[in-house]
Amino acid sequence: NAGVTQTPKFRILKIGQSMTLQCAQDMNHNYMYWYRQDPGMGLKLIYYSVGAGITDKGEVPNGYNVSRSTTEDFPLRLELAAPSQTSVYFCASSYFGANTEAFFGQGTRLTVV
């Protein structure tokens, strides 16, 4: 089973460039999340979605955008990359919200120079 798939695994961006981090899950989960994890830190929620067509801001949404046109896909868009966005980004999904197990992708390591 594929679970949650994130692409790319690594990326270097120049300041001001834009990119989209891809996330797809094949478990038919309604809930999907984007987190960032800075070195030695826990996870900070960027955006989440409770179903196709519905998205909402998390703790640190500035500089990011998301869309959820299908149940499977939840891309994260970075506009005008800044050094502060250097981080590891994780996509996760769960069947029914915070009380159910979250399944994570392997992460995207992004460096903005």
Partner 1 sequence: TQLLEQSPQFLSIQEGENLTVYCNSSSVFSSLQWYRQEPGEGPVLLVTVVTGGEVKKLKRLTFQFGDARKDSSLHITAAQPGDTGLYLCAGAEDSNYQLIWGAGTKLIIKP
Site residues (CB under 8 A) for partner 1? 4, 31, 33, 40-45, 48, 50, 56, 58-59, 90, 92, 97-99, 101-102, 104-107
What is the dihedral angle through the alpha carbons of 112, 42, 35, 105, rounded to the nearest 10 degrees? Answer: 100
Q: Report the residue number, 64 or 90, with the smaller CB distance to partner 1.
A: 90
Q: Report the nearest approach of partner 1 to the CB of residue 23 (Å).
A: 11
Residue 96: which residues within 8 A CB-CB, separation 6 or more?
30, 31
Distance CA 74, CA 6 (A): 10
Q: Report the nearest approach of partner 1 to the CB of residue 92 (Å).
A: 7
Fill in the amino acid letter for 42.
G
Q: Report the nearest approach of partner 1 to the CB of residue 101 (Å).
A: 5
